[in-house]
A and B are shown apart, each in its own frame.
Chain A
Amino acid sequence: RKEVEQDPGPFNVPEGATVAFNCTYSNSASQSFFWYRQDCRKEPKLLMSVYSSGNEDGRFTAQLNRASQYISLLIRDSKLSDSATYLCVVIDSGNTPLVFGKGTRLSVIA
Chain B
Amino acid sequence: DAGVIQSPRHEVTEMGQEVTLRCKPISGHDYLFWYRQTMMRGLELLIYFNNNVPIDDSGMPEDRFSAKMPNASFSTLKIQPSEPRDSAVYFCASRGQAGEKLFFGSGTQLSVL
Contacts and interface: CB of A to CB of B under 8 A. Distances in A.
B91 A46 contact: no
B98 A95 contact: yes
Interface in B95-112: 98-99, 101-102, 104-107
Interface in A42-63: 42-46
B42 A101 contact: yes
Given A43-B91, A44-B43, A32 B102 contact: no
Contact of A94 (B45, B48, B99): B99
**Interface footprint category on B:** 10 to 19
Contacts, number: 36
Nearest to B4: A43
| Majority secondary structure of chain B interface residues (helix, strand, loop or mixed) | strand
Contacts of B35: 100
Contacts of B18: none
Contacts of A100: 35, 42-43
A74 interface: no
B107 A97 contact: no
B14 interface: no
Interface of B: 31, 33, 35, 41-43, 45, 48, 50, 56, 91, 98-99, 101-102, 104-107
